[in-house]
């Protein structure tokens, strides 16, 4: 990985007076540690806090099951070419019960064989590749997840796309 384009604020003693409160807030919500995207975002504490708070809602207050959420995240990671997201979330996806065959299909961009998994992966792929989801793909996701669930699925893909694009811009992916 190339050197980051911005200094990563990974330790509390690297944070300025304006950054330290947000550093503590983010670290507390992430098991006491600062993770890469927020370590770069911390140059703008307000952005880092807002992004981390949204991420906490998506990760820790999801109405979708862990399996669906993690499948959407790793699909987004691959579609956005973000190795950090893939390496961080593929073990979580595995632990959540995403099948190895589905993970391999996601990683290689191959068709997904499982009928339930394909709904989630196709939705995430379409949103990442086309910037939109056609009616049949949306209907399949809404049929599986309900209206609230498909809204959350779109938010997951959007949030992790934002993180991936941010990290790629700063060379921290």
pLDDT at position 172 is 87
Share of the chain above pLDDT 90, in %: 92
Share of the chain above pLDDT 70, in %: 99
Question: What is the Cα Rg of the chain in Å?
Answer: 16
Residue 1 reports pLDDT greater than 70: no
What stretch(es) of the chain map to CATH 1.20.1290.10? 66-169
- How far apart CA 110 and CA 52 sit, in angstroms, is 32
Window from 4-13, 86-95, 120-129, 157-166 with minimum mean pLDDT: 4-13
Mean pLDDT of the chain: 95
pLDDT at position 173 is 79
pLDDT at position 3 is 81
CATH number among 1.10.520.10, 3.40.190.10, 3.40.50.300, 1.20.1290.10, domain 66-169: 1.20.1290.10
Residue 81 reports pLDDT greater than 90: yes
pLDDT at position 2 is 66
For residue 6, give Cα distances in angstroms to 17, 25, 77, 158. Answer: 18, 21, 21, 23
């Amino acid at each position: 990985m190339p050197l980051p384009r911005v200094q990563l604020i990974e330790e509390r003693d690297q944070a300025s007076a304006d950054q330290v409160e947000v550093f503590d807030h983010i670290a507390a919500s992430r098991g006491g540690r600062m993770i890469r995207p927020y370590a770069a975002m911390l140059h703008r504490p307000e952005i880092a806090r807002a992004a981390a708070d949204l991420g906490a809602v998506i990760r820790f207050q999801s109405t979708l099951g862990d399996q669906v959420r993690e499948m959407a995240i790793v699909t987004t990671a691959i579609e956005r070419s973000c190795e950090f997201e893939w390496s961080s979330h593929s073990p979580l996806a595995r632990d959540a019960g995403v099948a190895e065959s589905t993970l391999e299909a996601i990683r290689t961009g191959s068709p997904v064989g499982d009928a339930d998994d394909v709904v989630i992966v196709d939705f995430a792929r379409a949103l990442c590749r086309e910037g939109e989801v056609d009616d049949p793909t949306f209907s399949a996701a809404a049929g599986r997840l309900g209206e609230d669930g498909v809204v959350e699925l779109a938010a997951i893909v959007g949030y992790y796309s934002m993180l991936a694009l941010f990290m790629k811009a700063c060379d921290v992916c």
